[in-house]
Amino acid sequence: MIDIVALRENSEPYIESLERRSMDSSVVSSCLSVDASWREQKGVLDSLRAEKNQLSQKINEVKKTGADLSSVLKEAKELPARIAEQELRVQELEEKRDALLRKIPNILADQVPKGASEEENVQRNEFGQKRVFSFPPKSHVEIIESLGVVDFDASRKTSGSGFFFLKGSLALLDQALQQYAIDIMLKHNFELIVPPYMLRKSTLDGVIDTEEFAHSIFSLQDKDLHLISTSEHSLVGLLTQKDIPAQELPVRLVGISPCFRAEVGSHGIDEKGLFRTHQFHKVEQIIVCTPEESTAWFERLLAITTEIFTSLEIPIRHLEMCTGDLGMMKHRQFDIEAWSPRKNGYFEVGSCSNLTDMQARRLGIRMLLPDGSRVVAHTLNNTALATSRAMVALIENFQQEDGTVLIPRVLHPYMRGVTKLS
């Protein structure tokens, strides 16, 4: 959630950000009103607690004089109930205020374009040369099924739609892409983490929006354990309630894991294919840094993913999310999209987000300054490479007229001598 102190001191940036998102800004005044009541009732509670301490001292003093204690003891007996009642009142106001705080989104970066929906997202950059085909390009599904390196029919029988069996050289390609992305991340001094694949709801509540939890998370029946949809959730959770010395920032983590997504919503799950599935592998980047460095790290994370895809010789672009398509916790977000010759258009292969202090505040991730004071850190996340979507782009862009698929040269060292899918 946002910082209540910052909201008290200057609510205008939050109101402006809500209006830029075409959201009702009255939630700010409602929140501040409840906060004012909370502070008033908190003052009453503090006074009652001080009164309890004073009564204890008064009882000791009266005992020394031998005077009648009955009136003082009666007051002392009634006070705990009054304190308990006031504590409940303060707690209820705090919960109501925090619920309203969660409805106030992160402040938008100045560069975020105005728009009502994803249709108004803005292309910022393009990279790579689009290949000109001398034959009608096929879809990735047509190609890999004809090569016999995938089995969608068997996975529908064993698991349902949205799953797949990768076979032979395609399974090897999936592993090669993971290792290649990891090697690039290690070159950029990220620490490699294999995280837990299941988390408690308390951790997930800190890293994602409630709506995202409801629509995209698989949960274990009768247990407070939920499958991760990205290793970002575990990596940020790793730092929960930690005070990180300022000299140790930035923290650079790269996670490798399977990802599980229910994908209930407008897009649904692909009946057949690797693009939108319930399960895939991903290499994910996480940064925890000082507030002053988060804008620069946003650009650096974008550059790393750009490096990966351009070295794979896959044309990509950066698409900036507009105000109407930006998540509640996001300060700024770019999607990285790859070129599909089959569709003659781009499709998403990853995203890069700056969440400033919103995620870290929820989880208590702070930087410890030399003077002993603490400041909430900033967090960023970025997809280095999701193998399923990267394979879609690779298969379509490197397909040959005879139905085979060439493997990019940079992946040859990871492919055990295989240079094409055939």
Buried/exposed code over 113-131 (b: 16+ C-beta within 10 A; e: otherwise): bebeeeeebeeeeeebeee
Q: Are strands 191-193 and 251-260 parallel, antiparallel or unpaired?
A: parallel
State the burial class of residue 75 (Cβ atoms within 10 Å of its Cβ: 0-12, 13-18, 19+).
middle
- Residue ranges of the domains in the chain? 4-101, 118-421
Q: Reply yes or no on whether 351 is catalytic.
A: yes
DSSP letter at 399 equals B
Burial of 184 (0-12, 13-18, 19+ CB in 10 A): buried
Burial of 250 (0-12, 13-18, 19+ CB in 10 A): buried
Helix H or strand E encompassing 316: strand 316-320
Determine the distance from the C-alpha atom of residue 287 to the mean position of all C-alpha atoms in its chain, rounded to a whole number.
11
Q: Are 402 and 421 in contact (CB under 8 A)?
A: no
Q: Is the pLDDT of residue 269 over 60?
A: no
Give the least confident one: 35-44, 58-67, 207-216, 410-419.
Answer: 58-67
CA angle 217/223/227 to nearest 5° reads 30
Closest among 41, 139, 148 to 87, alpha carbons compared: 41
SS3 364: coil
- Count of alpha carbons within 13 angstroms of residue 240, beta-carbon side: 16
280 phi/psi in degrees, rounded to 5? -160, 170
pLDDT tens-digit series, residues 216-247: 889 998 999 999 999 999 999 999 999 999 99
Q: Residue 272's pLDDT band (boundaries 50, 70, 90)?
A: confident
For 263, phi and psi rounded to 5 degrees? 55, 40
pLDDT tens figures, 319-350: 999 999 999 999 999 999 999 999 999 999 99
Residue with tokens 């031998």: 66
Average pLDDT, the chain: 92
Q: Which of 276, 361, 362, 366 is catalytic?
A: 276
Whether the predicted pLDDT of 258 surpasses 60: yes
Catalytic one of 362, 366, 389, 396? 389
Q: Is 8 a catalytic residue?
A: no
Structure tokens at 15: 């109101």
C-alpha distances in Å from residue 249, one per residue of 147, 301, 335: 48, 16, 26
pLDDT (0 to 100) of residue 205: 85
CB 388 within 8 A of CB 150: no
Average pLDDT over residues 114-128: 95
Q: Which of 133, 198, 187, 140 is nearest to 164 (CA)?
A: 140
> At the fourth CATH level, which superfamily is domain 4-101?
Serine-tRNA synthetase, tRNA binding domain (1.10.287.40)
The catalytic position among 139, 155, 169, 351 is: 351
261 is catalytic: yes
102 catalytic, yes or no? no
Decide if pLDDT at 9 tops 80. yes
Taking the model in full, what pTM does it have? 0.89
The active-site residue out of 87, 94, 142, 348 is 348
Residue of 97, 102, 252, 261 marked catalytic = 261
Q: Does domain 118-421 have CATH number 1.10.10.10?
A: no
Return the pLDDT at 81. 87
389 is catalytic: yes
**208 pLDDT tier (thresholds 50, 70, 90):** confident
Alpha-carbon span 400 to 405, nearest angstrom: 6
Report the pLDDT averaged over residues 178-192.
98
Instruction: Render pLDDT for 88-103 as a digit per residue (tens, 0 to 9).
Output: 999 999 999 999 998 9
Q: How confident is the model at residue 264 (pLDDT cuts 50, 70, 90)?
A: very low
pLDDT band of residue 207 (cuts 50, 70, 90) is confident
Tokens of 24: 């009702």
